């Protein structure tokens, strides 16, 4: 009986090795408009207060609060983006719009709903307004720095840049930002039986689904995909493609060619190029997963030899490659989100290996818990079982079945 020379590692041990070997890429300065989805590599500190002036919160009249209610002459108006060239003295008011700087001398705003313009001018020809409300100093005025103080840290290294974060950066005047650049990830399919989609199938051939699948998964992670094509079952061709990928990419993903058949040629190529850290995982599906590192031009490159079966390839991508991409992209916690869910039916267990069972997780408002529905047949060639899956259930290694209604850990691979 042929035995692999690689010990079968638990998933947790193998993932720890992957993350220890994954380091963030060098930060780079990019334009703010292209930074969405990336992670900051440095803290962001405001250099100016926000607002930088006392600003009106509402449309109305800038007043001296101590004057109280009454009829007052209007000495001018201030609109957003303009500064008054006059001063409010006691006994006078000025019309003001939301966001406009408060004129000197005024200390409160009476909103327009509490006022009534009068048709009669005062003795000097000025328009007048009846102020019917009494306000306190500071009412409806945003003080300088009330939103952001000068010197305040508004974002922290490691923060992911979503719409609100991009808005904050624009608010403090940033046009460029330092981020961790996402890794370059290359995909290489292998096997004489694998051909490009759109090509006529000959007997014994299949269209390649792994590269398109992995390319979409990489792009969903903000990684940059590099297509390395299909390598044939020939050591020289595979070695040339692997080395080209290692020079072009931060992470190289191969699919197929890492089991124990005579044409599973990749492990020796990885061993020759660098260091193979593991070659088998105690999991189902995905046991043949291989991980290696290679030092090229002073930088460490990661190689994941993914299994050839489509489901095995994608499951191992989520469990191992996604955390590596996240770590290289600056995530402080690169692990998949884990939730507790309750099974909707009996699930068969494997006595040899823990299983990562494809499932759809949803929140049930009535029972106040997550429910997990199996996606059906878990054959490693059946990519249909991944179509609606947003989670991988961590089923324990043992004989028998997991009864309906059991609580089980679920790793999230999609949106709830």
Whether residue 376 is contained in a domain is answered as yes
- Per-residue confidence (pLDDT) for residue 260, from 0 to 100: 62
* 225 and 310 housed in the same domain: yes
380 versus 416: the higher-pLDDT residue is 416
Task: Provide the pLDDT for residue 261.
Answer: 59
Look up the domain containing 171 and give its range. Answer: 36-49+149-180
- Is 292 within a domain? yes
Q: What is the pLDDT of residue 2?
A: 57
- The CATH number of the domain holding residue 73 is 2.170.190.11
For the stretch 92-143, pLDDT in tens is: 999 999 999 999 999 999 999 999 999 999 999 999 999 999 999 999 999 9
pLDDT at 316 over 80: yes
pLDDT tens digit sequence for 168-187: 999 999 999 999 988 999 99
Q: Find the mean pLDDT for residues 51-65.
A: 97
Domain count, the chain: 4
**DSSP SS3 for 319:** helix
CA angle 408, 412, 414 (to 5 degrees): 140
H or E element at residue 273: helix 266-273
Q: Answer yes or no: is 272 within a domain.
A: yes
Q: State the average pLDDT for the chain.
A: 94
pLDDT tens digits, one per residue of 198-225: 899 999 999 999 999 999 999 998 889 9
Same structural domain, 206 and 317: yes
Measured in Å, how far apart are the chain's first and last C-alpha atoms? 45
Instruction: Provide the phi-psi class of 125: left if phi over 0, else alpha when psi is between -120 and 50, else beta.
Output: left
Task: Write down the pLDDT at residue 257.
Answer: 79
| Residues of the chain above pLDDT 90, percent | 89
Claim to verify: residue 43 and residue 62 sit in the same structural domain:
no
Model confidence over 220-272: pLDDT tens digits? 988 899 999 999 989 999 999 999 999 999 999 999 877 765 557 899 999 99
Q: Which of 278, 306, 328 is the last residue of a domain?
A: 328
Inside any domain, residue 3: no
> Got the DSSP string for 140-189?
TEEPTTSSB-TT-EEE-TT-B--HHHHHHHHHTT-SEEEEEPPPEEEEEE
Instruction: Kindly report the CATH number assigned to the domain that includes residue 284.
Output: 3.40.980.10
- Supply the pLDDT for residue 354: 97
Contact 309, 378 (CB under 8 A): no
More confident residue, 356 or 5: 356
- How far apart are alpha carbons 267 and 279 in whole angstroms? 8
| CA dihedral angle for residue 322, residue 328, residue 329, residue 333, rounded to 10 degrees | 70
Which pairs with CB-CB distance under 8 Å and at least 24 residues apart come from 229-232? Answer: 229/188, 229/189, 230/188, 230/189, 230/190, 230/191, 230/194, 230/195, 230/196, 231/188, 231/189, 231/190, 231/257, 232/190, 232/191, 232/192
Stated pTM of the model:
0.86
Where b means 16+ CB within 10 Å and e means fewer, 153-165 reads: ebbebbbbbeeeb
């Amino acid at each position: 009986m042929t035995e692999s020379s690689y010990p079968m590692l638990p998933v947790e041990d193998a993932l720890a090795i992957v993350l220890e070997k994954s380091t963030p890429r060098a930060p780079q300065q990019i334009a703010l408009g292209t930074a969405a989805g990336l992670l900051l590599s440095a803290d962001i500190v405001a250099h100016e207060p926000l607002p930088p002036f006392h600003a009106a919160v509402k449309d109305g009249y800038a007043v001296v609060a101590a004057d109280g209610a009454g009829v007052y002459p209007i000495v001018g108006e201030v609109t957003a983006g303009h500064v008054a060239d006059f001063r409010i003295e006691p006994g006078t008011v000025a019309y003001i719009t939301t966001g406009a700087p408060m004129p000197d001398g005024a200390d409160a705003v009476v909103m327009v709903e509490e006022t009534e313009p009068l048709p009669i001018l005062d003795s000097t020809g000025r328009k007048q307004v009846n102020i019917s409300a009494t306000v306190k100093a500071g009412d409806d005025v945003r003080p300088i720095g009330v939103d952001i103080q000068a010197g305040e840290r508004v974002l922290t290294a490691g923060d992911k840049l979503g719409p609100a974060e991009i808005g904050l950066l624009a608010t403090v005047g940033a046009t460029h930002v330092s981020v961790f650049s996402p890794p370059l990830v290359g995909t290489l399919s292998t096997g004489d039986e694998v051909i490009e989609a759109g090509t006529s199938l000959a007997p014994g051939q299949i269209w390649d689904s792994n590269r398109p699948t992995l390319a979409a998964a990489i792009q969903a992670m903000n990684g940059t995909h590099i297509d390395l094509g299909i390598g044939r079952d020939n050591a020289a061709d595979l070695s040339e493609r692997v080395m080209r990928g290692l020079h072009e990419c931060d992470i190289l993903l191969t699919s197929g060619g890492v089991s124990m058949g005579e044409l599973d040629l990749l492990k020796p190529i990885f061993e020759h190029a660098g260091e193979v850290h593991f070659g088998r995982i105690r999991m189902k599906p995905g046991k043949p997963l291989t991980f290696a590192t290679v030092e090229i031009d002073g930088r460490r490159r990661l190689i994941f030899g993914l299994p050839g079966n489509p489901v095995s390839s994608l499951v191992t991508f989520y469990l191992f490659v996604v955390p590596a991409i996240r770590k290289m992209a600056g995530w402080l916690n690169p692990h998949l989100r884990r939730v507790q869910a309750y099974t909707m039916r009996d699930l068969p267990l494997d006595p040899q290996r823990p299983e990562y069972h494809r499932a759809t997780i949803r929140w049930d408002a009535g029972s106040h818990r997550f429910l997990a529905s199996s996606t059906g047949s878990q054959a490693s060639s059946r990519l249909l079982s991944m179509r609606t899956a947003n989670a991988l259930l961590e089923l324990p290694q043992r004989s028998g079945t997991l009864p309906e209604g059991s609580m089980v850990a679920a790793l999230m691979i999609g949106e709830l």
